[in-house]
Amino acid sequence: MSRKIAVIGMGHVGSTAAHYIVANGFADDLVLIDPNTGKVEADALDFKDAMPNLPFHTNITVNDYSALKDADVIISALGNIKLQDNPNDDRFAELPFTSTQVKDVAAKIKASGFDGIIVAITNPVDVITSIYQAVTGLPKNHVIGTGTLLDSARMKRAVADKLHIDSRSVAGYNLGEHGNSQFTAWSTVRVLGQPISKIADERDLDLAELDQEARRGGFTVFHGKKYTSYGVATAAVRLANIVLNDALTELPVSNYREEYGVYLSYPAVVGRDGIVEQVQLDLTDEELKKLQISADYIKTKFAESTAK
Amino acid sequence: MSRKIAVIGMGHVGSTAAHYIVANGFADDLVLIDPNTGKVEADALDFKDAMPNLPFHTNITVNDYSALKDADVIISALGNIKLQDNPNDDRFAELPFTSTQVKDVAAKIKASGFDGIIVAITNPVDVITSIYQAVTGLPKNHVIGTGTLLDSARMKRAVADKLHIDSRSVAGYNLGEHGNSQFTAWSTVRVLGQPISKIADERDLDLAELDQEARRGGFTVFHGKKYTSYGVATAAVRLANIVLNDALTELPVSNYREEYGVYLSYPAVVGRDGIVEQVQLDLTDEELKKLQISADYIKTKFAESTAK
Amino acid sequence: MSRKIAVIGMGHVGSTAAHYIVANGFADDLVLIDPNTGKVEADALDFKDAMPNLPFHTNITVNDYSALKDADVIISALGNIKLQDNPNDDRFAELPFTSTQVKDVAAKIKASGFDGIIVAITNPVDVITSIYQAVTGLPKNHVIGTGTLLDSARMKRAVADKLHIDSRSVAGYNLGEHGNSQFTAWSTVRVLGQPISKIADERDLDLAELDQEARRGGFTVFHGKKYTSYGVATAAVRLANIVLNDALTELPVSNYREEYGVYLSYPAVVGRDGIVEQVQLDLTDEELKKLQISADYIKTKFAESTAK
Amino acid sequence: MSRKIAVIGMGHVGSTAAHYIVANGFADDLVLIDPNTGKVEADALDFKDAMPNLPFHTNITVNDYSALKDADVIISALGNIKLQDNPNDDRFAELPFTSTQVKDVAAKIKASGFDGIIVAITNPVDVITSIYQAVTGLPKNHVIGTGTLLDSARMKRAVADKLHIDSRSVAGYNLGEHGNSQFTAWSTVRVLGQPISKIADERDLDLAELDQEARRGGFTVFHGKKYTSYGVATAAVRLANIVLNDALTELPVSNYREEYGVYLSYPAVVGRDGIVEQVQLDLTDEELKKLQISADYIKTKFAESTAK
């Protein structure tokens, strides 16, 4: 009875995800957790002040880890976005901070008895997803990172803008790290009934530029407002909904790929049992090389994070 | 063809309202305006990054006043929330700042040829709504302030919490200034099929305390997170939707009441023609006195703002 | 994990309720049951054909009573609308047919191990709700009839039409039997900030005529299209949603009132535990008399149905 | 200001489309037209009886052709489904009936001054769309048939069922006539990151059987309940929404293809200006042959219909 979602970390991203959930009635019970008690209580009250003008009702619980026991999905939005304000725009700058936080939170999640699905947004998301899985001991397919679901959306937006079409009419994936080593797997991208390579030829699209725009899209937003929120929160909540209603939707998300030995973004079928099936793409040699580099990078960073 | 909404002022409140609109497909065309170009462009891009994962598409235009010409509703969310961080928690502390901004913006709205409905959130909202009407020259019933639609929601939330019921099952109004001189008109509040006075007697509710909680609710949120956003943005978007679909819903909003000679919050029927009908309540003598005090306060402040 | 709703009876009302649920993603799992296998399978397939064009996914199970075991809400929409096509427009004409069906279905519900909430639409709804409770042995507050939630909506529509306002801005209740002995409790109806009696005086509203319109509204629809569907299905699904998200909303629904010894419509607070609190209205003597007559009528009919 | 949709023909399909619109607030103004006055008025009243329990308000106008003047989209759902109950399950059996009706209705649409977009569902839809265009004199790209948007959905449903994935995770098109000469263009179908031919080989999918299931899907539903409604109404309303918000979504719909000289289903980009861009697929020779046969069939039938 009821859809129960928890959001841990009520900064820009977590509170935007929570608002999206409350405004659309996506959860019956919503648990909000943040070490900044003042902030999370203020958000909870603000949501309650919205409810008399909303068509949906949501039961909100604040800062109670025991409430995670029967939650269906936990969205981890912990982070310290300020740390991304570095010359290299590298999401790994957040790792020392977030990995410490996440180990603590993951232990508390485990202690609560939670046995649902974790959707991690926290950056660097591929490593953080690994940490969540390692510490909680949940099955690997029950811990998922939003990964390049967001970057793929950015790629779709960039392509759609050029072609004057709906971004939902662009199919394809960004793969690898949700970070600078990611790439658009152009061999998977289709638009207007054709592989994009053909459309690119016909219409003089510069795919390298579009790839760059997808990868850099987040930083354009970040430099404009000092954080990103709507794109990633929407991706995370969509993922949570897909889990809740067992939609079995195919999406590029961060999932554990045996052949790479790490969590990285690659399309998978997602449902109530988390990663239900892993897709196998026919990538080009160049794409395979890029993916290996991205995987190696994540692996090294994960090793560093656990060495500490 | 199409619902066109503009949001002017993309701080916490404006961007939350815009997100709510985008996430729910409440507008076909959305115009976002803010003097901080970096911020508004980042928000627009962030919304576009959300769209591939959303069921709705929204066309977004940034910082183009000429796009207001055929807008249906303008939501004014200009403000400088930091100015409310004063010892008295007085929304009038924002007036010198916002009244200057609003006069400028209102002149640009007028110049655009806009002839729709303005929904003002900017504080102090009752005076700001007056300024919008005066400068744009729009009919008085086409300029509306969210006013105590939010405070009434806070009162409902406070009452509902005490009685363990849905806040949407509390009927009644906060009246007057969206500020410290407002009050809950308890004679209008009904709950569980009874006037609240009767339920209060039976269940030992302290109405004065609840009144205080409604009035102070915003500041609790404000002190917790340094701004308020979800409650007020939800109220504003609900109001915009009611205008767009000509719902003729009765709501407490800031509207011009001839007998008081000012904009203040009092229930009215709202539709595509703005304030379509003004309600006439049977208030108690004490409530009438409070309302007069609130009206006088707004009048004085408005005079000060125009004197400058 | 997941919201699971079952709809039993896939005639006009049941299939409309199911469509409303599917089109809005109100359930994760939906069980559809109907003795007409061809019809229910066709509807299920038709829903699946809609899903690629919908933002929501719903898992559909057909004609499997064992799937009710862990359902949260069962909506009973069994019926034989043709039987209402009688000279007296009396919903009790359906009783011999529906009571037989319902006893059978209720036994199967019981056998499934179901322990959620039943929302009954089947007419004559007050008696049918009693039968469901008696046969399943579920707690009285876990079996609810849509009752006059629909008739109250019709009253609101009739009043709103006269006053040119939103029907959601009319507060108040129709009470008693969801049938010809029901009545609008005008003492509970408020509109435009006033008791309706005052507005009626000012604006020459004929309350007796409006009362008649609320009571007869269903038959106007019925005679026009030989069934009614949208109003009642919307009421039932709203009720189911309120249960699922534990909204604690106050609504006039058919619930067991000790003082009358029957199920009849009277406002109550509804949540995940069904009828969570019963409201106590201050009715006029005339209204109390009408309610007693209505209760007596239901009681007699229930006795007849069990005598068979 | 406002989204205005008209539904002409309030049988099973039209009334389901109207309900979907009302229940989701997709239109501010809704015009319902049907020669059966009793039916359309009953539906309108039934919708109004739903509104007090809905979060959205819709203004409904009945049987007023002059209200079409400023409508944005007209959904034509005229039809006589009984005529499809023929041994060949041929939608052309409806042509003599619907073509007469449509000519009359199209003339009235023209007389109203309507200059929006027509979305035709009426069967045989490719010919009917031609007739609407010819009689109204609207630009060819402003008259669209739902065509194989529905059949493509059925193909997706059939493929998804076999592979245990979300039907929204199947990409590809059914092309040609929305009728027996249509076919799935398997060269366009992709699933699990691969062309379906590859997946079919790996998993022993019988594409001919799936093709048949897509084509016959409607008749399975039809034979089960004597009409189809949810799939096609959902497709039509999705199309209307895409027009209203100018989403520029790529969809297989019935649009006029110069090279075939007829309306037939082929992917196109749809927005506020109707068919905004026509897609060019790389079909196989066999698919091109099938499409030519389908086009020829439609052309012959259209010639017959105008000869009368």
pTM: 0.97
Model confidence pLDDT, tens digit, residues C94-107: 888 888 899 999 99
- Are the C-beta atoms of A294 and A178 separated by less than 8 Å? no
Strands A174-175, A183-184: pairing is: antiparallel
The pLDDT of A56-78, averaged and rounded, is 97
Residue among A117, A240, B168 nearest C238 (CA): B168
Query: C84 Cβ partners below 8 Å, 6+ apart?
Result: C90, C91, C93, C94, C123, C222
Q: Is A8 an interface residue toward B (CB < 8 Å)?
A: no
Measure the CA–CA gap between A90 and A84, rounded to whole angstroms: 6
Q: For residue C1, name the pLDDT band (cuts at 50, 70, 90).
A: low
Structure-token match 């990868």, residue found? A215
Strands D194-195, D170-171: pairing is: unpaired
Reply yes or no on whether the pLDDT at C87 is more than 80. Answer: no
Say if the Cβ atoms of A282 and D194 lie within 8 Å: yes
Reply yes or no on whether the pLDDT at C265 is more than 70. Answer: yes
CA distances in angstroms from A170 to B51, B52, D17, D168, D269, listed in the order given: 12, 9, 28, 14, 12
> Which of D51, D53, D157 minimises the CB distance to C52?
D157
In the set B57, B142, B178, B223, the catalytic residue is B178
Measure the CA–CA gap between D29 and D61, rounded to whole angstroms: 8
Reduce the DSSP state of residue D252 to 3 states and report it: strand
Model confidence pLDDT, tens digit, residues A18-65: 999 999 999 999 999 999 999 999 999 999 999 999 999 999 999 999
Contacts of B60-65 spanning 24+ positions with Cβ under 8 A: B60/B22, B60/B30, B60/B31, B60/B32, B61/B29, B61/B30, B61/B31, B61/B32, B62/B31, B62/B32, B62/B33, B63/B32, B63/B33, B63/B34, B63/B37, B64/B31, B64/B33, B65/B33, B65/B108, B65/B109, B65/B111, B65/B112
- In B131-142, which positions are buried (b, 16+ CB within 10 angstroms) versus exposed (e)? bbbebbebebbb
> Which of A23, A38, A229 minimises the CB distance to B46?
A229
Contacts of A249 in chain D (CB under 8 A): 165-166, 168-169
pLDDT at position A220 is: 84
More confident residue, C226 or D116: D116
- Alpha carbon distance, N-terminus to C-terminus of chain B: 42
pLDDT at position D117 is: 98
Determine whether B223 is an active site residue: no
Model confidence pLDDT, tens digit, residues D173-191: 999 999 999 999 999 999 9
Query: C27 Cβ partners below 8 Å, 6+ apart?
Result: C3, C4, C5, C21, C58
Contacts of D72 in chain B (CB under 8 A): 1-2
Say if the Cβ atoms of A48 and B157 lie within 8 Å: yes
**Gap from C55 CA to chain B (nearest CA, Å):** 6
Known binding residue B25? Answer is: no
Measured in residues, chain A has a length of: 308
Question: Per the structure block, which two tokens stand in for B216?
Answer: 């102070």
Say if the Cβ atoms of B59 and D116 lie within 8 Å: no
Q: Which residues of D are part of the catalytic machinery? A: 178
Q: Is A16 an interface residue toward B (CB < 8 Å)?
A: yes
- Are the C-beta atoms of A257 and A243 separated by less than 8 Å? no
pLDDT at position C96 is: 84
CA distances in angstroms from C182 to A261, B80, C145, C155, listed in the order given: 69, 55, 14, 12
Contacts of B218 in chain A (CB under 8 A): 49
Question: Per the structure block, which two tokens stand in for D148?
Answer: 């194989």
Measure the CA–CA gap between A303 and D109, rounded to whole angstroms: 69
The pLDDT of D56-70, averaged and rounded, is 98
pLDDT at position A239 is: 98
> Which of D192, D248, D269 minimises the CB distance to A250?
D192
Q: Is D169 an interface residue toward A (CB < 8 Å)?
A: yes
Phi, psi for residue A137 in degrees, rounded to 5: 75, 10
Contacts of A241 in chain C (CB under 8 A): 25
Say if the Cβ atoms of C250 and B190 lie within 8 Å: no
The pLDDT of A259-284, averaged and rounded, is 98
Say if the Cβ atoms of B272 and D1 lie within 8 Å: yes
Q: Residue positions of A in the annotated binding site for NAD(+)? A: 9-14, 34, 121-123
Q: Is A44 an interface residue toward B (CB < 8 Å)?
A: no
> Which of A166, A231, A235 minimises the CB distance to B57?
A166
Reply yes or no on whether the pLDDT at B270 is more than 70. Answer: yes
**Gap from A109 CA to chain D (nearest CA, Å):** 30
Measure the CA–CA gap between A80 and A97, rounded to whole angstroms: 7
pLDDT at position C193 is: 95
CA A141 to chain centre: 15
Strands C249-257, A274-278: pairing is: unpaired
**Gap from D283 CA to chain A (nearest CA, Å):** 10
Q: Is B150 an interface residue toward A (CB < 8 Å)?
A: yes
* D neighbour chains, 3+ CB pairs within 8 Å: A, B, C
Say if the Cβ atoms of D42 and C221 lie within 8 Å: yes
Q: State the best of C149, C165, C269 to mutate against chain B, taking most chain B CBs within 10 Å.
A: C165
Known binding residue D142? Answer is: no
Percent of chain B with pLDDT over 70: 97
Residue C253 per-residue DSSP state: E
The pLDDT of C131-144, averaged and rounded, is 97
In sequence order, what DSSP letters do the residues of D57-86 get, joined into one string?
--EEEES-GGGGTT-SEEEE----GGGG-S
Average model confidence (pLDDT) for chain A?
94
Q: Is D153 an interface residue toward C (CB < 8 Å)?
A: yes
Contacts of C247 in chain B (CB under 8 A): 166, 168
In sequence order, what DSSP letters do the residues of A94-112 get, joined into one string?
GHHHHHHHHHHHHHHHHHH
Model confidence pLDDT, tens digit, residues B224-264: 898 899 999 999 999 999 999 999 999 999 999 999 999 99
Query: In chain B, which among 61-100 make CB contacts under 8 A with chain D?
Result: 72
Q: Is C53 an interface residue toward B (CB < 8 Å)?
A: no
The architecture (CATH level 2) of A2-143 comes to: 3-Layer(aba) Sandwich (3.40)
- Pseudo-torsion of CA C7, C12, C17, C23, nearest 10°? 120
- Are the C-beta atoms of C62 and C91 separated by less than 8 Å? no
Contacts of B247 in chain C (CB under 8 A): 166, 168
Measure the CA–CA gap between A206 and D90, rounded to whole angstroms: 48
Structure-token match 């009614």, residue found? C228
Model confidence pLDDT, tens digit, residues B69-111: 999 999 999 987 666 667 777 778 888 888 889 999 999 999 9
Q: Residue D227's closest chain C neighbor by CA?
A: C42
CA distances in angstroms from D115 to A152, D134, D140, D238, D272, listed in the order given: 38, 14, 12, 20, 12
Measure the CA–CA gap between D284 and D187, rounded to whole angstroms: 7
Q: State the best of A250, A265, A283 to mutate against chain D, taking most chain D CBs within 10 Å.
A: A250
Q: Residue D54's closest chain A neighbor by CA?
A: A55
Query: A268 Cβ partners below 8 Å, 6+ apart?
Result: A250, A251, A252, A253, A255, A275, A276, A277, A278, A279
Model confidence pLDDT, tens digit, residues D195-218: 999 999 999 999 999 988 888 877
- Are the C-beta atoms of B158 and B214 separated by less than 8 Å? yes
The ipTM (two decimal places) reads 0.96
Contacts of A59 in chain C (CB under 8 A): 245-246
* Identity of the residue numbered A85: D
Query: B42 Cβ partners below 8 Å, 6+ apart?
Result: A220, A221, A222, A223, A224, A225, A228
Q: Residue B168's closest chain C neighbor by CA?
A: C249
Reply yes or no on whether the pLDDT at D308 is more than 70. Answer: no
Measure the CA–CA gap between B192 and B190, rounded to whole angstroms: 7
Known binding residue D51? Answer is: no
A vs D: CB pairs below 8 A: 81
Residue among A219, A18, A238 nearest A119 (CA): A238
Phi, psi for residue B70 in degrees, rounded to 5: -110, 20
Contacts of A58 in chain C (CB under 8 A): 245
Residue among C184, C170, C185 nearest C282 (CA): C185
The architecture (CATH level 2) of A147-305 comes to: Alpha-Beta Complex (3.90)
Say if the Cβ atoms of B245 and D272 lie within 8 Å: no
**Gap from C294 CA to chain B (nearest CA, Å):** 20
The pLDDT of C191-214, averaged and rounded, is 94
Measure the CA–CA gap between A60 and A83, rounded to whole angstroms: 30
Phi, psi for residue D151 in degrees, rounded to 5: -65, -35
CA C186 to chain centre: 21
pLDDT at position D217 is: 77
> Which of A169, A171, A247 minimises the CB distance to D166?
A247
The pLDDT of A88-103, averaged and rounded, is 83
Question: Per the structure block, which two tokens stand in for A257?
Answer: 């790929």
Strands D170-171, D73-76: pairing is: unpaired
The pLDDT of A175-200, averaged and rounded, is 96
- Are the C-beta atoms of D204 and D168 separated by less than 8 Å? no
pLDDT at position C308 is: 54
Q: For residue B214, name the pLDDT band (cuts at 50, 70, 90).
A: confident
Q: Is C55 an interface residue toward B (CB < 8 Å)?
A: yes
Reply yes or no on whether the pLDDT at D1 is more than 70. Answer: no
Domain boundaries, chain A: 2-143, 147-305
The DSSP bridge partners found for residue D94 are: none
Residue among C145, C134, C87 nearest C275 (CA): C145
Region of C164 (left: φ > 0; alpha: ψ -120 to 50; beta: rest) is left
Known binding residue D13? Answer is: yes
Query: In chain C, which among 224-283 make CB contacts under 8 A with chain D?
Result: 224-225, 228-235, 238
